[in-house]
């Protein structure tokens, strides 16, 4: 991910498997970092001597900027903010770096500039929702980003357009290169200024365009299309003649003068890290996920990454194996978070936090494409500890967008290009977002099924008729102007229940978005707000004592969920938040709505495993070894699921005390 061409056009810097690589064009890549840190978004200095990138290598929660001297091979920490510094871009004279100062959920960020010599940071624009990475005007007076521009006051969706920000405090200026047409995305679609500042590279309708601009970055004419294939993450050579970009699973180099394009081969492989040893977990209590009755005093014998057998405890079973003493604890299936959106914003801690809260599998129905694949590969390769990941690319949206991880698809031809990008890296699922017309949504469903993966949306009908596999949220936004799931006051009726039960679609309620489950969880355990595991999160994700009274019911959303559940709908637990702890609040909400603790536990274990088609979600011989080991009995108190002491993911044992900076977990 994040490939960038060196100014002389001779090298490419990029990130793969968590590390920063440097590769001569036509040569072999060289790993520059080769460590456990998360590295992302490299950027070349104008003279080609330095690379700056974002990394959590300093050991904190968040990302800082690190310049690397390609001559001396030395690196240094440039920023030390209490936020995440991302998306660096060097000024034309090389003295400053503009970056996104991420300080809120879903990459809410201000825009800042740091002086390379001193490290002094100046904010040039207040926080915005998910702005794109910056680029500089030729005269160094302004920074340009792709930003969400409202389209009407009725809906939150708008178009991605160019926002020009002065570094001297002058007013912002909006530029709309093509009326009513959105820049594809705020990740990977530009703008990227040519080194001489005469052009911007932008991606429209899946294809790369060049826009002539003045020295202060103002467009001087319409975009000129320079590719006919899918393009992502463009970068320029210093002479403005060559453009490097990603096209599906290839790197491509375009010569603008000759009009020719060629592949830039990348010879990289990884091996899935599958354990080969033996682990024996001695469980005082075992909840296998399929029976509502616990077993007592058993040994779970794991060979490789699968459960070999479950037998009565005997000390001899652990001879020659890694032994986990859970004799005073409860072993249950590892939890599955069925709806979140993966981000790089707080580095390796994001994955460690999932493990610390007992989450061993994560489904991300909407991600930035190449980042999501890198996350999946890094975990598969054992480079970063984390849960098993099921990822999609962009949220597929029609013409107007809201989230940074969405793509504004302009036409059926553009949709075909996006679907080709889905197939190349083999995403695990597709998500049709709220403005997608019904016929195009049917195309997405058919394409997903031809790939052998599921599709999801916010819709109930006609998506159920089209073969949709799952619906997200009990409420959720809808481009129709009304909800297809619930009428006024969030009331749902028999027609919705009949469609769900008859179609076999899953429902991910995401009731925790209302905060009621977490308020109730914090009210039941007042120490939870101080849990050491929250030190893995930035300030904007840490829970706070709620001023509002704790929820006493699950509300209309819970009533709707229970009506569908009783009609036979497969309910799967997801939160639509990046905070793993919220899943425990979600499960408590289900119990408040009327489920038994065992039924609620199944929504985060057996049922989502079946929906994902994986040999996990329950504890039995032959299943993959994904376990959560907790203190207490979740069959009588669902909040016990939050009291995680050990997590076993792909047969690797993680002691929660070793996953967090604090010496112990309360």
pLDDT of residue 544 exceeding 70, the answer is yes
pLDDT of residue 546 exceeding 70, the answer is no
Give the count of beta carbons closer than 10 Å to the beta carbon of residue 182: 29
If you average pLDDT over residues 78-97, what whole number do you get? 96
If you average pLDDT over residues 492-497, what whole number do you get? 89
If you average pLDDT over residues 493-502, what whole number do you get? 91
Three-class DSSP category at 437: coil
Work out the pLDDT band at 61, boundaries 50, 70, 90: confident
SS (H, E, C) 39-64: EEEEEECCCCCEEEEEECCCCCCCCE
If you average pLDDT over residues 71-81, what whole number do you get? 95
Three-class DSSP category at 361: strand
458/403 Cα distance (integer angstroms): 15
Name the H helices within 434-577. Answer: 438-451, 463-466, 494-503, 516-524, 555-566
Work out the pLDDT band at 666, boundaries 50, 70, 90: very low
- E strand or H helix that includes residue 135: strand 135-136
Give the count of beta carbons closer than 10 Å to the beta carbon of residue 327: 12
DSSP state of 8: T
Cα distances from 421 to residues 35, 282, 414, 666, in angstroms, run: 30, 46, 11, 45
Three-class DSSP category at 11: strand
pLDDT digits (tens, 9 = 90+) for 362-385: 999 999 989 999 999 999 999 999
Cα distances from 212 to residues 59, 170, 217, in angstroms, run: 42, 23, 9
341/375 Cα distance (integer angstroms): 12
Find, among 586, 582, 585, 564, the residue nearest to 573 by Cα: 586
Q: What angle do CA 609, 590, 515 make, to 5 degrees?
A: 110
pTM of the model: 0.95
If you average pLDDT over residues 323-328, what whole number do you get? 97
Is the CA virtual torsion 366, 369, 372, 377 positive or negative? Answer: positive
Q: What is the pLDDT of residue 116?
A: 97
Q: What angle do CA 576, 185, 46 make, to 5 degrees?
A: 120
8/23 Cα distance (integer angstroms): 13
* Region of 617 on the Ramachandran plot (φ > 0 left; ψ -120 to 50 alpha; else beta): left
If you average pLDDT over residues 94-102, what whole number do you get? 97
652/631 Cα distance (integer angstroms): 20
Is the CA virtual torsion 541, 547, 550, 553 positive or negative? Answer: negative
pLDDT of residue 536 exceeding 50, the answer is yes
Three-class DSSP category at 325: strand
pLDDT digits (tens, 9 = 90+) for 39-54: 999 999 999 999 999 9
If you average pLDDT over residues 596-622, what whole number do you get? 97
If you average pLDDT over residues 210-218, what whole number do you get? 94
405 neighbors 394 (Cβ within 8 angstroms): yes
If you average pLDDT over residues 67-74, what whole number do you get? 95
If you average pLDDT over residues 417-430, what whole number do you get? 93
Three-class DSSP category at 21: strand
Q: What is the pLDDT of residue 262?
A: 96
Work out the pLDDT band at 663, boundaries 50, 70, 90: very low
* Region of 119 on the Ramachandran plot (φ > 0 left; ψ -120 to 50 alpha; else beta): left
pLDDT of residue 547 exceeding 70, the answer is no
* Region of 504 on the Ramachandran plot (φ > 0 left; ψ -120 to 50 alpha; else beta): left
pLDDT digits (tens, 9 = 90+) for 138-175: 999 999 999 999 988 888 899 999 999 999 999 999 99
Work out the pLDDT band at 180, boundaries 50, 70, 90: very high
**C-alpha 531, offset from chain centre:** 24
- E strand or H helix that includes residue 422: helix 412-423
Which residues, at least 6 apart from 258, have a Cβ–Cβ distance to it below 8 Å?
Answer: none
335 neighbors 575 (Cβ within 8 angstroms): no
334 neighbors 307 (Cβ within 8 angstroms): no
**C-alpha 465, offset from chain centre:** 29
> Token pair of 531, please?
């849990």
pLDDT of residue 312 exceeding 80, the answer is yes
> Token pair of 393, please?
């690319």
Any idea which of 188-197, 198-207, 287-296, 540-549 has the lowest mean pLDDT? 540-549
Q: What is the pLDDT of residue 486?
A: 84
285 neighbors 298 (Cβ within 8 angstroms): no
422/429 Cα distance (integer angstroms): 9
- Interstrand relation of 506-508 and 570-571 (parallel, antiparallel or unpaired): parallel
Work out the pLDDT band at 545, boundaries 50, 70, 90: low
Q: What is the pLDDT of residue 665?
A: 41
Q: What is the pLDDT of residue 549?
A: 60
pLDDT of residue 264 exceeding 60, the answer is yes
> How much is the mean pLDDT over the chain?
94
pLDDT of residue 484 exceeding 90, the answer is no
184/203 Cα distance (integer angstroms): 6
If you average pLDDT over residues 273-291, what whole number do you get? 96
């Amino acid at each position: 991910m994040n490939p960038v061409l060196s100014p002389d056009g001779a090298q490419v810097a990029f990130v793969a498997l968590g590390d920063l690589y440097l590769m001569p064009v036509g040569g072999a890549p060289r790993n520059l970092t080769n460590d456990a840190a998360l590295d992302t978004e490299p950027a070349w200095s104008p003279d080609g001597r330095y690379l700056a990138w974002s990394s959590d290598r300093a050991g904190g929660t968040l990302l800082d900027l690190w310049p690397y001297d390609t001559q001396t091979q030395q690196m240094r920490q440039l920023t030390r903010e209490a936020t995440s510094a991302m998306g660096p871009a060097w000024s034309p004279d090389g003295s400053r770096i503009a970056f996104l100062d991420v300080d809120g959920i879903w990459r809410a960020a201000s825009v800042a500039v740091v002086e390379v010599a001193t490290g002094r940071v100046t904010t040039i624009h207040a926080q915005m929702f998910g702005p794109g990475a910056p680029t500089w005007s030729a005269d160094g007076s302004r920074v340009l980003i792709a930003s969400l521009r409202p389209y009407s006051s009725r809906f939150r969706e708008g178009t991605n357009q160019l926002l020009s920000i002065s570094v001297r405090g002058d007013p912002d200026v909006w530029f709309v290169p093509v009326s009513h047409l959105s820049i594809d995305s705020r990740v990977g679609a530009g703008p990227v200024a040519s080194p001489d500042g005469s052009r911007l590279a932008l991606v429209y309708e899946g294809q790369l365009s060049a826009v002539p601009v003045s020295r202060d970055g103002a467009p001087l004419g319409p975009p000129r299309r320079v590719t006919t294939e899918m393009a992502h993450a463009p970068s320029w050579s210093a002479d403005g003649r060559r453009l490097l970009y990603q096209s599906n699973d290839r790197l491509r180099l375009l010569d603008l003068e000759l009009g020719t394009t060629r592949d830039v081969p990348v010879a990289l492989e990884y091996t899935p890290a599958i354990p080969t040893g033996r682990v024996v977990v001695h469980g005082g209590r075992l909840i296998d996920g399929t029976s509502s009755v616990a077993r007592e005093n058993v040994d779970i014998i794991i060979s490789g990454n699968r459960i070999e057998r479950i037998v009565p405890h005997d000390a001899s079973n652990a001879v020659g194996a890694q032994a986990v003493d859970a004799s005073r604890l409860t072993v249950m299936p590892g939890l599955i978070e069925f709806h979140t959106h993966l981000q790089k914003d707080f580095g390796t801690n994001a994955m460690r936090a999932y493990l610390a809260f007992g989450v061993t599998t994560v489904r991300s129905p909407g991600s930035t494409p190449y980042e999501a694949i890198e996350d999946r590969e890094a975990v598969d390769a054992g480079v970063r500890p984390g849960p098993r990941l099921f990822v999609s690319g962009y949220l597929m949206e029609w013409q107007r967008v809201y989230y940074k991880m969405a793509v504004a698809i302009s036409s059926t031809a553009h949709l075909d290009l996006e679907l080709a990008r889905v197939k190349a890296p083999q995403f695990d699922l597709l998500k049709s977002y709220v403005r997608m017309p019904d016929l195009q949504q049917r195309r997405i469903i058919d394409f997903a099924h031809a790939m052998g993966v599921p599709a999801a949306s916010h819709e109930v009908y006609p998506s159920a008729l089209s073969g949709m596999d799952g619906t997200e949220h009990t409420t959720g936004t809808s481009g129709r102007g009304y909800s297809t799931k619930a009428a006024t006051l969030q009331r749902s009726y028999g027609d919705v229940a009949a469609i769900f039960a008859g179609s076999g679609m899953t429902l991910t309620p995401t009731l925790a978005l209302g905060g009621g489950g977490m308020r109730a969880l914090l009210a039941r355990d007042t120490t939870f707000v101080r849990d050491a595991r929250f030190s893995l999160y930035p300030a904007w994700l840490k829970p706070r004592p709620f001023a509002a009274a704790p929820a006493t019911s699950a509300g209309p959303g819970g009533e709707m969920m229970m009506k569908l559940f009783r009609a036979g709908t497969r309910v799967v637990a997801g939160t639509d938040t990046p905070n793993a702890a919220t899943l425990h609040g979600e499960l408590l909400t289900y119990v408040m709505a009327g489920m038994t603790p065992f039924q609620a536990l199944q929504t985060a274990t057996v049922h989502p495993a079946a929906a994902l088609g994986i040999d996990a979600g329950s504890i039995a011989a032959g299943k993959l070894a994904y376990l959560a080991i907790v203190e207490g009995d979740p069959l009588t108190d669902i909040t016990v699921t939050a009291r995680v002491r050990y997590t076993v993911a792909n047969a690797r044992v993680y002691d929660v005390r070793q996953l967090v900076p604090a010496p112990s977990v309360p």
